[in-house]
A and B are shown apart, each in its own frame.
Chain A
Amino acid sequence: MQNVEAQIEALQSQIAAMDKKIPSNKISMIVFSGEMDKVLAAFVIATGAVAMGMDVVMFFTFWGTPILRDKTKKAGGKDTMGKMFGAMLPKGTPDVKLSKMNMGGMGTAMMKSLMKKKNVASLDQMMEMAEEFGVQIFVCEMSMDLMGFKREEMIDYSGLSYCGVATFLEQANDSRIQLFI
């Protein structure tokens, strides 16, 4: 009898351990790219995933980081390199270009007008919806530092915070889907 109880106990702890291994109904995305088409795809997947009942976390790093700058905000106290990067990199969604067929900005302008004509949501609209849906955004602290971005020049987004690689890995480990865009 005692033997059976011990066995049940062992089984219960095994089940508890297995439960921990089952990832949440969550999708983790790394947004590494900074081009309009790629980031738009990331937000279409993010908002779609919420509709499918999933939690969504997006990690912005390297060229994805400038997308989250706010064109209307200014940040002081930058060194020369920071100022250079700040001037050369896109300042938020209005500055982003297509990854292909940009043609000196003409392609991007044409794509934007085509999207409007065909009722396709703009990057700004998608980001607004993502915020409304509770999509969490993490920004890579190392990219911020490297490019000299300050927190006060980033967009107002209710689910935005700053992190390092461990935060992403913890979230990715607990996600059913992981994407690198």
Chain B
Amino acid sequence: MSEEIRIEKVMDLKGLPCPMPILKVNKGIKEVEVGQVIEVWSTDPGSLSDFPSWARTRGHEILKTDQNGEVTKFYIKRLV
């Protein structure tokens, strides 16, 4: 039933504190095409608030957020 999300690129940002996750993801998303999805792993608790703020500001879409223990996985679709 659930549609499989095609991941174009995985970014492992575990262990990086603010502001690195946002700086890296902002760079990383430019390396895929518009419409493609990246999967980002972060252990920075601030990312839970920061990634949505960044995505709203830059006009990208967070399709899914998976929190599993310390690691949070974000599935972000490049829209612009």
Whether B58 contacts A120 by the Cβ 8 Å rule is: no
Whether B54 contacts A51 by the Cβ 8 Å rule is: yes
Closest Cβ of chain B to A114, distance in Å, is 11
Q: Which residues of B contact A51 (CB under 8 A)?
A: 19, 22-23, 25-26, 54
Check B49 for interface membership: any CB of A closer than 8 A.
no
Whether A48 contacts B22 by the Cβ 8 Å rule is: yes
Check B16 for interface membership: any CB of A closer than 8 A.
yes
Q: Which residues of A contact B19 (CB under 8 A)?
A: 44, 47-48, 51, 121
B interface, over-half SS? helix
Interface residues of A in 16-57 (CB under 8 A from B): 44, 47-48, 50-53
Check B20 for interface membership: any CB of A closer than 8 A.
yes
A sample of 27 cross-chain residue pairs with beta-carbon separation below 8 angstroms, ordered by A number, consists of: A44-B18, A44-B19, A47-B19, A47-B23, A48-B19, A48-B22, A48-B23, A50-B23, A50-B26, A51-B19, A51-B22, A51-B23, A51-B25, A51-B54, A52-B22, A52-B57, A52-B58, A53-B57, A53-B58, A118-B17, A119-B15, A119-B16, A119-B17, A119-B20, A121-B19, A121-B20, A129-B23
Chain A interface residue number, banded: 10 to 19
Most buried by A among B16, B20, B53, B57: B20
Query: How many B residues touch A, CB cutoff 8 Å?
Result: 14
Most buried by A among B16, B19, B53, B58: B19
Which of B's residues lie within 8 Å of A, judged by CB? 15-20, 22-23, 25-26, 53-54, 57-58
Q: Which residues of A contact B53 (CB under 8 A)?
A: 52
Closest Cβ of chain B to A117, distance in Å, is 11
Docked pose: A51 CA to B54 CA in angstroms: 8
Q: Which residues of A contact B17 (CB under 8 A)?
A: 118-120
Those 8 A-B pairs whose CB atoms lie nearest each other, nearest first = A51-B26, A48-B19, A51-B22, A44-B19, A52-B57, A51-B23, A120-B17, A119-B15
Docked pose: A48 CA to B26 CA in angstroms: 10
Closest Cβ of chain B to A134, distance in Å, is 13
Docked pose: A47 CA to B23 CA in angstroms: 7
Docked pose: A153 CA to B27 CA in angstroms: 33
Q: Which residues of B contact A53 (CB under 8 A)?
A: 57-58
Q: Which residues of B contact A44 (CB under 8 A)?
A: 18-19
In the complex, residue of chain B having the shortest beta-carbon distance to the beta carbon of A125:
B20
